[in-house]
C-alpha cells in the first residue's frame, strides 16, 4: 500500500473544523512552506504527494524536484481559477491565458472542431492542456476531481471519462478519477478497454466511521475487496480529521485491499506517526 501526502492542510480545508482549517492555512502562507513540508514527508518515506490545480498548486508542482520513485498526483480542473480570471480581468484575459498556455495543435485543431460539433469531448484535450503544468513529469497521475466525475456520471456521458483517460495516456500521464460514487463508477469503468483500466487509479472516501462513505460502508468494503484491473486509492481515511482513535482507524485501513492511501496533516510528527502505523 503506497502512501501519498494530501494537500487539504495547505489550503485551509477541514470538513470537521473550519477554525482549525483557517489556522492550518496560515501555517503554510508561502509556497516555500508547502514545498518544505512535502520534502520532509517524502524523506520520512511517503511515496508521493497530491496537489490541486489551483494557482499555488500549479506553481508548486512546476518547481518541486522529486527523487526517483516518488510520485506526483495532480487533480484537475480548478474552476475557481478561471472564474476569478474572468471576473477580475474579463474574457480577454482568459483568451490570452489560453493562447499562452495551449499548444498550436490544441488551439487550431481541437478548438475549431468543438465549435463545429459542440461536443465537449472535442474540447477535452485543450482543457487538459490548460490545466497541466508544462513541467509536470511524465508518468505522473492526473485526476479528474469528484465534482466533475460525478456530474459526468449523472449526465450518463461515460464517453467523456474514457476520453479524459485516453488523452492523458497519449500525453504520457496516468489517469485518475476521484468520486463519491465508486460503485456507480465501477460499472462505467467496466466498459473501458483493459489497456485503459490498467493505467487508472480510482480515488474515493473510506474510513472506519463511515464518514462521507457512499452509498454505505459495507458496500464500499465489498467493492474494495473485488479484483479490478484499476488501482484503488482510499482518501479521508481518518474521517477528515474527525477520528479519535488513530491507531484503530489505521489498522482498519491496513486490512483493506487498497493500492494507495492519501492523508494529510499540518504537523510533520503526525505524518511520521501515520506512516509508521501504516507500515507496521
Reduced 3-state DSSP string for the chain: CEEEECCHHHHCCCCCCHHHHHHHHHHCCCHHHHHHHHHHHHHHCCCEEEEECCHHHHHHHHHCCCCCCCEEEEEECCHHHHHHHHHHHCHHHHHHHHHHHCCHHHHHHHHHHHHHHCCHHHHHHHHHHHHCCCCCCCCCEEEECHHHHHHHHHCCCHHHHHHHHHHHHHCCCEEEEECCCHHHHHHHHCCCCHHHHCCCEEEEECCCCCCCCCCCHHHHHHHHHCCCCCEEEEECCCHHHCCCCHHHHHHHHHCCCCCEEEECCCCHHHHHHHHHHHHC
Interval 194-222: pLDDT, tens: 999 999 999 999 999 999 999 999 999 99
Q: Residue 194 is part of which domain span?
A: 2-279
Identify the burial level of 137 via C-beta atoms within 10 angstroms of its C-beta, where 0-12 means exposed, 13-18 middle and 19 or more buried: middle
Interval 258-272: pLDDT, tens: 999 999 999 999 999
Given this model, what pLDDT does residue 6 score?
96
pLDDT at 35 over 60: yes
- What's the CATH code of the domain at 217? 3.20.20.100
Interval 37-88: pLDDT, tens: 999 999 999 999 999 988 889 899 988 889 999 999 999 975 555 555 556 7
The length of the chain is 280
Interval 226-255: pLDDT, tens: 999 999 999 999 987 778 899 999 999 999
User: What value does the mean pLDDT of the chain take?
Assistant: 86
User: Per the structure, how many domains does the chain have?
Assistant: 1
Given this model, what pLDDT does residue 134 score?
82
Could you count the other beta carbons within 10 Å of the beta carbon of residue 111? 15
Amino acid at each position: 500500500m503506497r502512501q501519498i501526502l494530501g494537500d487539504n492542510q495547505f489550503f485551509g480545508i477541514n470538513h470537521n473544523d473550519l477554525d482549525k482549517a483557517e489556522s492550518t492555512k496560515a501555517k503554510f502562507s508561502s509556497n516555500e512552506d508547502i514545498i518544505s513540508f512535502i520534502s520532509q514527508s517524502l524523506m520520512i518515506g511517503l511515496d508521493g504527494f497530491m496537489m490541486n490545480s489551483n494557482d499555488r498548486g500549479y506553481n508548486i508542482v512546476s518547481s518541486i524536484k522529486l527523487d526517483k520513485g516518488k510520485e506526483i498526483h495532480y487533480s484537475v480542473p480548478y474552476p475557481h481559477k478561471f472564474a476569478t480570471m474572468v471576473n477580475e480581468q474579463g474574457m480577454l484575459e482568459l483568451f490570452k491565458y489560453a493562447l499562452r498556455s495551449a499548444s498550436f495543435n490544441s488551439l487550431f485543431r481541437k478548438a475549431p472542431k468543438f465549435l463545429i460539433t459542440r461536443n465537449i469531448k472535442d474540447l477535452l484535450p485543450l482543457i487538459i492542456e490548460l490545466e497541466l503544468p508544462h513541467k509536470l513529469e511524465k508518468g505522473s497521475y492526473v485526476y479528474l476531481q469528484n465534482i466533475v466525475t460525478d456530474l459526468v456520471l449523472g449526465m450518463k456521458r461515460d464517453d467523456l471519462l474514457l476520453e479524459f483517460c485516453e488523452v492523458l495516456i497519449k500525453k504520457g500521464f496516468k489517469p485518475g478519477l476521484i468520486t463519491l460514487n465508486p460503485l456507480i463508477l465501477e460499472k462505467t469503468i467496466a466498459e473501458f478497454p483493459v489497456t485503459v483500466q490498467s493505467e487508472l487509479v480510482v480515488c474515493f472516501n473510506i474510513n472506519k466511521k463511515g464518514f462521507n462513505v457512499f452509498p454505505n460502508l459495507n458496500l464500499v468494503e465489498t467493492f474494495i475487496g473485488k479484483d479490478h484491473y484499476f488501482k484503488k486509492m482510499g482518501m479521508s481515511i481518518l474521517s477528515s480529521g474527525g477520528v479519535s482513535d488513530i491507531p484503530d482507524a489505521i489498522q482498519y485501513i491496513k486490512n483493506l485491499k487498497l493500492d494507495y492511501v492519501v492523508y494529510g496533516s499540518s504537523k510533520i510528527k503526525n505524518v511520521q506517526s501515520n506512516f509508521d502505523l501504516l507500515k507496521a
